[in-house]
């Protein structure tokens, strides 16, 4: 199973992402768009995990999240990977949140045996909007499609499975691990 961990958006946050995507369609069209129902903030991409390993992975996630506080996230601004000169992924970033970074950092070593590979670049929390933009004018996006500081509570870490089907990729929640409140 192809797995990753992520935090969901609130309904209000997803609604704003939808508005931002409409604006992005006019200012900086992408070849591939993230479906609204698929939007999430990834913490760890694990890749293929054997089904037999999933129960132990779940118990690690349960153990750590039980001791980790819930936190608030807030949209920040547009961003791009690998950089804004030659963007391949267009995303919306969130304001720095130490509890999110702490959760990501705490889990990272424990998830390495399940395929998580620590990137050589720092972790940049983001919500993917679209891929392969036909242009690179991120400055125009910032100016013409302003991001509102929508704030929402991240109550849980979710283990997601990427499922490939006729309608494209779909993310199925394998389990939600509540954070402490
Ligand atoms: O949350 P986003 O959309 O940025 O790009 C993939 C997506 O990230 C990323 O994992 C998330 C869920 O699919 N992803 C896919 N393949 C990856 C890889 N080989 C990867 N991240 C790192 N390495």
Q: Which atom of ligand 1 is nearest to the CA of 81?
A: 4
3-state secondary structure of 77: strand
Q: What is the ipTM of this complex?
A: 0.89
**Taking the model in full, what pTM does it have?**
0.95
Q: Is 44 a catalytic residue?
A: no
45 CA → ligand 1 middle, Å: 6
pLDDT mean across residues, the chain: 97
| CB 135 within 8 Å of CB 86 | no
Whole-angstrom CA distances from 66 to 103, 146, 180 are: 11, 36, 6
| CB 7 within 8 Å of CB 43 | yes
- Output DSSP code: residue 72: E
Q: What is the pLDDT of residues 87-140, one digit of tens each?
A: 999 999 999 999 999 999 999 999 999 999 988 899 999 999 999 999 999 999
Residue 84, pLDDT above cutoff 90:
yes
Q: Is 40 a catalytic residue?
A: yes
pLDDT band of residue 10 (cuts 50, 70, 90) is: very high
């Amino acid at each position: 199973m192809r797995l990753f961990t992520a935090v969901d958006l609130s309904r209000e946050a997803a609604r704003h992402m939808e508005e931002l995507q409409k604006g992005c369609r006019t200012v900086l069209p992408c070849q591939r768009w993230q479906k609204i129902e698929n939007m999430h903030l990834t913490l760890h991409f694990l890749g293929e995990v054997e089904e037999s390993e999933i129960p132990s992975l779940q118990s690690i996630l349960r153990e750590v999240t039980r001791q980790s506080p819930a936190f608030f996230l807030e949209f920040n601004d547009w961003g791009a990977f690998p950089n804004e000169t030659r963007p391949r992924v267009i995303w919306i970033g969130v304001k720095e949140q130490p509890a999110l970074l702490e959760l990501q950092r705490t889990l990272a070593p424990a998830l390495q045996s399940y395929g998580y590979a620590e990137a050589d670049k720092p972790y940049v929390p983001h919500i993917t909007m679209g891929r392969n933009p036909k242009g690179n004018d991120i400055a125009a996006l910032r100016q013409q499609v302003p991001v509102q500081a929508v704030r929402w509570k991240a109550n849980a870490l979710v283990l997601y499975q990427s499922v490939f089907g006729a309608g494209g990729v779909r993310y199925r929640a394998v389990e939600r691990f509540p954070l402490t409140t």
